[in-house]
């Protein structure tokens, strides 16, 4: 049975307690963190964390739950919670899993969790995790897209870095770039391709990805700045 990782966001701690209590009755759900500050939740979500489900209040100071969905719905699934029924239409327009009106009964909560699991199972059957194979020597090695930190071009080879490991493949950087373009990877240097979602810092000369500094070429800086400006708070 898959273990789903969950975070809860609500500016009322009592509401967090209710949801946490409900979730404890499901053995395959683990609450990783809770937040009463939506800005702290935003900073957590933009980091390199694999979260399966976010339960968030809608009306919160500084960053609303709806704004969080718009920013991160491609990375995780959301269940919205609120005391105000007028948000229902906008929430479902964002294709969230469910919309729960407070106070949240356990019976209604169960329906939302069942809907989430059904969506996960359906996607799991129809959409295998994105990956590709590379040949290293006489072996074919499967690379999961989500594991890639960055790729370095080395003449006729590419070096694919995945955490503390790497593999060398007889491929051009251009051919790898064509494969990964659909997964929000960007060429930031004539010799480097990076996953945009893993960039944690940019100082004008290099990006930081999992404590590794990757240089940004002068001719690639403007495109990177455009992306970062579009995704800034």
How do residues 58-95 score in pLDDT, each as one tens digit?
999 999 999 999 999 888 999 999 887 666 556 656 77
Average predicted confidence (pLDDT) for the chain: 88
Q: Specify whether 138 is located in the same domain as 221.
A: yes
In the predicted structure, residue 124 carries a pLDDT above the cut 80:
no
Q: Specify whether 169 is located in the same domain as 76.
A: no
In the predicted structure, residue 42 carries a pLDDT above the cut 80:
yes
Q: Out of 6-20, 94-108, 130-144, 189-203, which region has the weakest mean confidence (pLDDT)?
A: 130-144
- Spell out where the chain has E strands: 4-9, 29-35, 53-57, 77-82, 98-101, 131-136, 139-144, 150-154, 157-162, 165-169, 185-189, 192-195, 201-202, 206-209, 212-215
Q: Specify whether 103 is located in the same domain as 185.
A: no
Average pLDDT over residues 26-51: 94
Q: Specify whether 143 is located in the same domain as 175.
A: yes
CA–CA distance, 148 with 118 (Å, rounded to integer): 29
CA–CA distance, 41 with 20 (Å, rounded to integer): 16
Range of the domain at 181: 131-230
In the predicted structure, residue 152 carries a pLDDT above the cut 80:
yes
- Give residue 99's pLDDT: 86
Q: Specify whether 136 is located in the same domain as 98.
A: no
- Give residue 32's pLDDT: 95
In the predicted structure, residue 57 carries a pLDDT above the cut 80:
yes
Tens digit of each residue's pLDDT (9 = 90 or more) over 161-189: 998 889 898 888 888 887 787 678 899 99
* CB distance 18 to 24 below 8 Å: no
- Give residue 65's pLDDT: 93
Containing H/E element for 223? helix 221-230
Q: Specify whether 87 is located in the same domain as 180.
A: no
Q: Specify whether 143 is located in the same domain as 111.
A: no
Q: Specify whether 44 is located in the same domain as 141.
A: no
Give the global pTM.
0.54
Q: Specify whether 153 is located in the same domain as 103.
A: no
Q: Domain boundary residue among 76, 99, 126? A: 126
Average pLDDT over residues 204-227: 92
Q: Out of 7-21, 61-75, 137-151, 172-186, which region has the weakest mean confidence (pLDDT)?
A: 172-186
What's the CATH number where 44 sits? Answer: 3.40.50.2300
Domain count, the chain: 2
Q: Domain boundary residue among 73, 99, 126? A: 126
Burial of 171 (0-12, 13-18, 19+ CB in 10 A): middle
Q: Specify whether 203 is located in the same domain as 94.
A: no
Q: Domain boundary residue among 96, 126, 156? A: 126
- In which band, very low, low, confident or very high, does the pLDDT at 9 lie, cut at 50, 70 and 90? very high
Q: Specify whether 103 is located in the same domain as 137.
A: no
Q: Specify whether 122 is located in the same domain as 11.
A: yes
What's the CATH number where 139 sits? Answer: 2.40.50.1020
């Amino acid at each position: 049975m898959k273990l789903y990782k969950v975070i809860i966001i609500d500016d009322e701690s009592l509401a967090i307690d209710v949801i946490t209590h409900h979730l404890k009755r499901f053995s395959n759900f683990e609450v990783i963190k809770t937040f009463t500050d939506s800005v702290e939740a935003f900073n957590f979500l933009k980091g390199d964390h694999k979260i399966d489900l976010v339960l968030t209040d809608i009306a919160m100071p500084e960053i609303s739950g709806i704004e969080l969905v718009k920013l991160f719905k491609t990375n995780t699934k959301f269940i919205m919670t609120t005391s105000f029924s007028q948000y229902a239409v906008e929430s479902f327009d964002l294709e969230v899993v469910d919309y729960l009106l407070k106070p949240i009964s356990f019976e209604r909560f169960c329906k939302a969790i069942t809907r989430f699991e059904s969506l996960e199972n359906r996607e799991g059957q129809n959409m295998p995790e994105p990956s590709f194979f590379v040949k290293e020597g006489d072996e074919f090695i499967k690379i999961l897209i989500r594991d890639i930190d960055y790729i370095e071009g080395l003449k006729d080879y590419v070096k694919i870095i995945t955490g503390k490991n790497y593999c060398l493949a007889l491929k051009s950087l251009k051919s790898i770039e064509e494969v990964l373009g659909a997964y929000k990877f960007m060429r930031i240097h004539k010799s480097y391709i990076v996953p945009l979602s893993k960039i944690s810092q940019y100082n004008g000369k290099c990006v930081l990805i999992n404590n590794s500094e990757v240089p940004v070429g002068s001719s690639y800086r403007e495109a990177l700045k455009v992306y970062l400006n579009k995704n800034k708070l």
